[in-house]
Amino acid sequence: MNSVPPMISTKDLMYLADMFEWFFTASKKAEHFSNEAQDPEVKERLKVVAKMHANHCQTLVNILGGGGNQ
């Protein structure tokens, strides 16, 4: 889907909210564990994972028209 309809259902909005929470939580956990990791390679991989999930969060916000980075 290339565009979001002007109106989405409550069910769709709730699913998008759940997706945001999943990505946000995954990003925060990966960031936390990257700070705890001792191995530099593991630390870097976790930072990449955290950034990936944060980007997914931003994409969802942009899709819904709430992001200033469009």
Q: What are phi and psi of 11, to 5 degrees?
A: -60, -45
| Cα dihedral sign, 48-53-58-63 | positive
pLDDT of residue 70: 42
Give the tokens for residue 47: 């930072």
53, 34 Cβ separation under 8 angstroms: no
Would you give per-residue pLDDT tens digits along the chain (70 residues)?
567 677 888 998 899 999 999 999 999 999 999 999 999 999 999 999 999 999 999 999 988 876 554 4
Strands (E), 1-70: none
pTM of the entire structure?
Answer: 0.79
Q: What is the pLDDT of residue 28?
A: 98
d(CA 67, CA 27): 18
